[in-house]
């Protein structure tokens, strides 16, 4: 693992004995997608996302100092009130990766309680909100130990740690738009952590809406880890990473200028390219369902006839994120209930919008 000495930490002789820390952290939806990584959790291209507001994980961590520093981490995990031993290996790996940046971990016994505001197995990835919430809670404890840490240092290190849990999680700490991955046109951008988009965003994008159509709530066919791996040796990998980089440059100008048509073109192209990469890897796979395509065609038709600035994006799954300006909220929600809900499993969809990131509760 590359060392990041700026995030290293020391255990102080006086550690707090016990306490509890609670926070929430949202999911995020990428506009320019991250697909392909190098060890450990470093992106092959920069990505840009909207931080969400309503789809979030609530996590509380109780910590109690152990009598002697353990050989191993000591934690218990509850998900939606139930003990979840099958989630433990992921947290164990996360703790191993971040230990040198949070050396107090083996000094404590932790009870981690976590739950999501969005329905379980809704096809909405909970790793971004879950890992960012965990990193955020742990950094609040780090701050109790190192009170000199500034707000901006805290946010940067939280994003850095969240990335080691799940790449895209690093983009959930702040909002409303974040950038992860070093890019020449984005000052201060880094592969190691996400930063807030460092320019004023045009009024057109303020309170941008994201209604998530839950098309298929089944288990994902392919984990994102396997998907990222398939970009190694992918026949179009090099071109894809170059395209993403060009899209970042264009999207930067679009977010500043408020050019909605250009926004639609980049965002939809990115969604389809992500899925095209999956369809052209070996093994190949299709994560869209027939209803995903039906919804996309309806969105295109509505945009053509209603003169709307609605567009869609996709995650690594069948669900459709319907993006639109706040000024169109009433009409688009009507369109969704009249014409898109039929494509949702059990008629379910989630109304969300862009938000500001992790918070203490
Ligand atoms: O953070 P991961 O490893 O789950 O990867 C997420 C990848 C996508 O959601 C498909 C795209 C992105 O940039 O969020």
- How many whole angstroms from 224 Cα to the centroid of ligand 1? 7
Nearest CA to ligand 1 atom 4: 224
Check if 255 has its Cβ closer than 6 Å to any atom of ligand 1.
no
Between CA 192 and CA 41 the distance in angstroms is 9
Check if 132 has its Cβ closer than 6 Å to any atom of ligand 1.
no
- How many whole angstroms from 228 Cα to the centroid of ligand 1? 9
Question: Pocket of ligand 1, candidates 26, 30, 287: which has the most ligand atoms within 8 Å of its Cβ, to mutate?
Answer: 30
Check if 291 has its Cβ closer than 6 Å to any atom of ligand 1.
no
Which numbered atom of ligand 1 lies nearest the CA of 128?
1
CA atoms within 13 A on the CB side of 126: 23
Burial of 154 (0-12, 13-18, 19+ CB in 10 A): middle
Check if 30 has its Cβ closer than 6 Å to any atom of ligand 1.
yes
Check if 44 has its Cβ closer than 6 Å to any atom of ligand 1.
no
Which numbered atom of ligand 1 lies nearest the CA of 37?
3
Check if 224 has its Cβ closer than 6 Å to any atom of ligand 1.
yes
pTM of the model: 0.97
Tens of each residue's pLDDT in the chain, 361 residues: 557 999 998 877 789 999 999 999 999 999 999 999 999 999 999 999 999 999 999 999 999 999 999 899 999 999 999 999 999 999 999 999 999 999 999 999 999 999 999 877 677 778 999 999 999 999 999 999 999 999 999 999 999 999 999 999 999 999 999 999 999 999 999 999 999 999 999 999 999 999 999 999 777 778 888 999 999 999 999 999 999 999 999 999 999 999 999 999 999 999 999 999 999 999 999 999 999 999 999 999 999 999 999 999 999 999 999 999 999 999 999 999 999 999 999 999 999 999 999 999 9
Between CA 52 and CA 174 the distance in angstroms is 10
In order, the DSSP letters of 169-224 are GGGGSB-SEEEES-BTTBTT--SSSEEE-SSPPPGGGTT-EEEEE----SPPSS-H
Check if 125 has its Cβ closer than 6 Å to any atom of ligand 1.
yes
Between CA 168 and CA 180 the distance in angstroms is 8
- How many whole angstroms from 143 Cα to the centroid of ligand 1? 29
- How many whole angstroms from 29 Cα to the centroid of ligand 1? 9
- How many whole angstroms from 271 Cα to the centroid of ligand 1? 12
Check if 34 has its Cβ closer than 6 Å to any atom of ligand 1.
yes
Which numbered atom of ligand 1 lies nearest the CA of 125?
4
Structural domains in the chain? 5-199 (3.30.230.10), 206-353 (3.30.70.890)
| pLDDT recorded at residue 121 | 67
Check if 166 has its Cβ closer than 6 Å to any atom of ligand 1.
yes
The structure tokens 């006086």 sit at: 14
Least Cα distance to 294 among 318, 260, 262 occurs for 318
């Amino acid at each position: 693992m590359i060392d990041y000495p700026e995030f290293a930490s020391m255990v102080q002789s006086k550690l707090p004995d016990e306490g509890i820390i609670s926070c929430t952290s949202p999911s995020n939806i990428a506009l320019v997608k991250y697909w392909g990584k190098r060890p450990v959790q470093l992106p092959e291209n920069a990505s840009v996302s909207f931080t969400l507001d309503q789809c979030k994980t609530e996590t509380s961590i109780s910590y109690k100092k152990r009598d002697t520093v353990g050989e191993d981490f000591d934690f218990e995990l509850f998900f939606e009130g139930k003990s979840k031993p099958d989630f433990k290996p992921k947290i164990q790996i996360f703790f191993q990766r971040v230990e040198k940046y949070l050396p107090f971990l083996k000094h404590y016994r932790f009870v981690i309680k976590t739950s999501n505001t969005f329905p379980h197995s809704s096809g909405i990835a909970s790793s971004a909100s879950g890992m960012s919430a965990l990193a955020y809670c742990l950094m609040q404890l780090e701050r109790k130990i190192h009170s000199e840490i500034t707000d901006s240092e805290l946010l940067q290190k939280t994003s850095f740690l969240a990335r080691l849990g799940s790449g895209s999680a690093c983009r959930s700490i702040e909002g409303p738009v974040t950038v992860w991955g070093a890019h020449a046109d984005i000052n201060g951008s880094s592969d190691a952590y996400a930063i807030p988009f460092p320019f004023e965003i045009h009024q057109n994008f303020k309170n941008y809406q994201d209604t998530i159509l839950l098309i298929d709530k089944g288990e994902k066919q392919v984990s994102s880890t396997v998907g990222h791996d398939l970009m190694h040796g992918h026949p179009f990998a090099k071109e894809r990473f170059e395209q993403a980089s060009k899209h970042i440059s264009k999207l930067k100008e679009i977010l500043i200028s408020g050019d909605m048509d250009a926004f639609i073109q980049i965002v939809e192209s990115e969604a389809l390219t992500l899925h095209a990469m999956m369809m052209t890897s070996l093994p190949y796979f299709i994560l869209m369902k027939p209803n995903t395509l039906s919804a996309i065609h309806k969105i295109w038709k509505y945009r053509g006839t209603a003169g709307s600035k609605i567009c869609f994006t996709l995650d690594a799954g069948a669900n459709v994120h319907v993006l639109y300006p706040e000024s169109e909220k009433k009409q688009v929600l009507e369109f969704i209930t009249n014409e898109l809900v039929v494509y949702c499993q059990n008629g379910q969809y989630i109304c969300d919008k862009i938000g500001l990131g992790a918070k203490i509760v």
